[in-house]
Amino acid sequence: MERAAREYVSGKGVNRGRIVLHSDLNNFFASVECKKRPELQDFPVAVCGRREDRHGIVLAKNEKAKKAGVKTAEAIWQAKKKCPHLVIVPPDYDEYVRYSAIVKNIYSCYSDRVESFGMDEAWIELTGDIRINTLSDGEKVAHKIRNRIKEETGLTVSIGVSDNKVFSKLASDYKKPDAVTVFGPFNYESIVSKIDIGEMLFVGRSARSKLHLFGLNTIGDISLTNEIFMKSIMGKNGMKIYHDACGGNISPVCRIGERATETKSVGNSVTLPKDLENIDQVKRMIHLLSDKVAWRLRNDGFACRTVCISVRDTSLVTTEKQCPVKRTSNSIEIAHAAIKLYEQSYDITKPVRSMGVRCTCLVNTKEHVQLDLFDDKQEFRNKREDIDAVIDKIRLKYGMKLIYPAAAMGTNTTLANHPAFSHGV
Ligand SMILES: [Mg+2]
């Protein structure tokens, strides 16, 4: 074993004293579907994109479908061939976002450093909590979180506990479902070092096959090389893999809302099965899209300073326009900016085939806000924020579809039958 790994095993590595959890919701999409319709529980289930959208592939599957050999990203017909009784259900992203937010709220009871990794995974850093000093303290917290999520949502998670992000992710993958696994210096030689290098975060398929060419198959094999050698065969990435394999990944877990610089924008768009024919329909669509974008912004702890819209007309030309706004995460403010943009920049008599609303120039809402003394709308804005907080609570508890901006509803009953609205977008 080379120096870096020796240091790690002897407990003198760079991550000494850190406690990092990685939590992964098991079969997330499929589990949510089985919760919605408990009668599905006993069948193999796959969540698949709609055929007519040409997304007829498996997005997620439950444990029973997995056992039958169904794989994510394969075509529905391939899955059906292996598993003729497979139940196919369409995705319900609103519901996944909602569960994801509920679970994130649970994580944030244990730390202010919670970093999401996709909709179903997150790191939670416990370092610095005076009650939590060792990996086994971290393990106890992991079990608490696992039990709480199960009780409050009915979903199961696998949690990895380690002293760095890469190994905690590796640990959460090691045992599934509904499990807690601890990886640290104490079991590095007996377990961690024997894991295939391809399982490690950021080691893609091509890196893996290149390493295999050099006879480097496991994490332990990498730990026997050294930085100079790894750099010579794979450049900077090789050095990174070497350090990560030796328990030396020092990247911190971001605070909620801290990823503003990495998350460049939050957007939502829709292609309509039937064109929007007039400004009234367009306005309602903008309200619906803005509502979802705003909810996602707030969920991630962001506000925006720029609103963009993209519009594709029936000649299939897409154009995008943007405008600056006062820092906001309110759906009505975003929608008003988007509607103004639309009215100013497009020929509003033309039908619309597809459109999107996107927010950029994101800022962390926990950051200090400079209030404008002469802004007479500030009080109004505070009230809107209070309303948003209530809406968010209602949605977390009862579902996305229960509460919608009235402006998106309209009064004309013939519009209510427009396919774009009946799908809930
Ligand atoms: Mg998962």
Cα(340) to centroid(ligand 1), Å: 40
| Segment 182-194 mean pLDDT | 97
With respect to residue 198, please indicate whether it lies within any of the assigned structural domains: yes
What pLDDT does residue 425 have?
34
Position 424 pLDDT exceeds 50: no
Grade residue 363 by pLDDT with cuts at 50, 70 and 90: confident
Model's pTM, two decimal places? 0.77
Condensed to tens digits (0 to 9), the pLDDT of residues 242-270 reads: 999 999 999 989 887 676 556 678 898 88
What pLDDT does residue 367 have?
67
Q: Are residues 324 and 356 located together in one domain of the fold?
A: yes
Grade residue 354 by pLDDT with cuts at 50, 70 and 90: confident
Position 79 pLDDT exceeds 70: yes
With respect to residue 280, please indicate whether it lies within any of the assigned structural domains: yes
Rounded to the nearest angstrom, the gap between the alpha carbon of residue 290 and the centroid of all alpha carbons in its chain is 19
Q: Are residues 167 and 70 located together in one domain of the fold?
A: no
Q: Comparing 199 with 404, which gets the higher pLDDT?
A: 199
Q: Are residues 126 and 61 located together in one domain of the fold?
A: no
Cα(149) to centroid(ligand 1), Å: 14
Rounded to the nearest angstrom, the gap between the alpha carbon of residue 23 and the centroid of all alpha carbons in its chain is 12
Q: Are residues 298 and 406 located together in one domain of the fold?
A: yes
With respect to residue 205, please indicate whether it lies within any of the assigned structural domains: yes
Grade residue 384 by pLDDT with cuts at 50, 70 and 90: confident
Position 147 pLDDT exceeds 50: yes
Q: Which residues contact 144 (CB under 8 A, 6 or more apart)?
A: 110
DSSP state of 72: T
Cα(56) to centroid(ligand 1), Å: 21
Cα(73) to centroid(ligand 1), Å: 15
| Segment 9-22 mean pLDDT | 93
Q: Are residues 374 and 360 located together in one domain of the fold?
A: yes
Q: Comparing 44 with 421, which gets the higher pLDDT?
A: 44
| Segment 149-159 mean pLDDT | 97
Q: Are residues 240 and 262 located together in one domain of the fold?
A: no
Q: Are residues 74 and 172 located together in one domain of the fold?
A: no
What pLDDT does residue 373 have?
62
Q: Which of 245, 268, 293 is the last residue of a domain?
A: 245
Cα(324) to centroid(ligand 1), Å: 37
d(CA 221, CA 214): 10
With respect to residue 251, please indicate whether it lies within any of the assigned structural domains: no
What pLDDT does residue 423 have?
37
With respect to residue 250, please indicate whether it lies within any of the assigned structural domains: no
Q: Are residues 101 and 86 located together in one domain of the fold?
A: no
Q: Are residues 385 and 283 located together in one domain of the fold?
A: yes
Q: Which of 216, 245, 274 is the last residue of a domain?
A: 245
Condensed to tens digits (0 to 9), the pLDDT of residues 156-173 reads: 999 999 999 999 999 999
Q: What Cα–Cα distance (Å) separates residue 49 from each residue in 54, 55, 58, 87, 357?
A: 8, 5, 7, 13, 22
Strands 302-313 and 318-328 turn out to be antiparallel
Residue 118 lies in domain:
3-26+96-245
Grade residue 420 by pLDDT with cuts at 50, 70 and 90: very low
**CB contact at 8 A, 299 and 101:** yes
Q: Are residues 382 and 356 located together in one domain of the fold?
A: yes
Q: Which residues contact 105 (CB under 8 A, 6 or more apart)?
A: 396
Cα(258) to centroid(ligand 1), Å: 23
What pLDDT does residue 141 have?
97
Cα(28) to centroid(ligand 1), Å: 6
Q: Which of 92, 110, 125 is the last residue of a domain?
A: 92
What pLDDT does residue 410 have?
62
With respect to residue 252, please indicate whether it lies within any of the assigned structural domains: no
Output the average pLDDT for the chain.
88
User: Residue 14 maps to which CATH number?
Assistant: 3.30.70.270
User: Residue 43 maps to which CATH number?
Assistant: 3.40.1170.60
End-to-end CA distance of the chain: 55
Q: Are residues 237 and 286 located together in one domain of the fold?
A: no
Cα(23) to centroid(ligand 1), Å: 8
Q: Is 405 exposed, middle or buried (0-12, 13-18, 19+ CB in 10 A)?
A: middle
| Segment 298-313 mean pLDDT | 90
Q: Are residues 239 and 110 located together in one domain of the fold?
A: yes
Helix (H, G, I), strand (E, B) or coil at 156: coil
What pLDDT does residue 21 have?
98
User: Residue 329 maps to which CATH number?
Assistant: 3.30.1490.100
Cα(288) to centroid(ligand 1), Å: 29
Residues marked active site are found at: 121
Condensed to tens digits (0 to 9), the pLDDT of residues 90-138 reads: 999 889 989 999 999 999 999 989 998 988 999 999 998 889 999 999 9
Position 308 pLDDT exceeds 90: yes
Grade residue 419 by pLDDT with cuts at 50, 70 and 90: very low
With respect to residue 253, please indicate whether it lies within any of the assigned structural domains: no
With respect to residue 145, please indicate whether it lies within any of the assigned structural domains: yes
d(CA 425, CA 409): 13
Helix (H) or strand (E) holding 209: helix 205-213
Q: Comparing 54 with 61, which gets the higher pLDDT?
A: 61
User: How many domains does the structure of the chain reveal?
Assistant: 3
Grade residue 31 by pLDDT with cuts at 50, 70 and 90: very high
Q: What Cα–Cα distance (Å) separates residue 83 from each residue in 61, 71, 91, 231?
A: 12, 11, 19, 45
Cα(345) to centroid(ligand 1), Å: 42
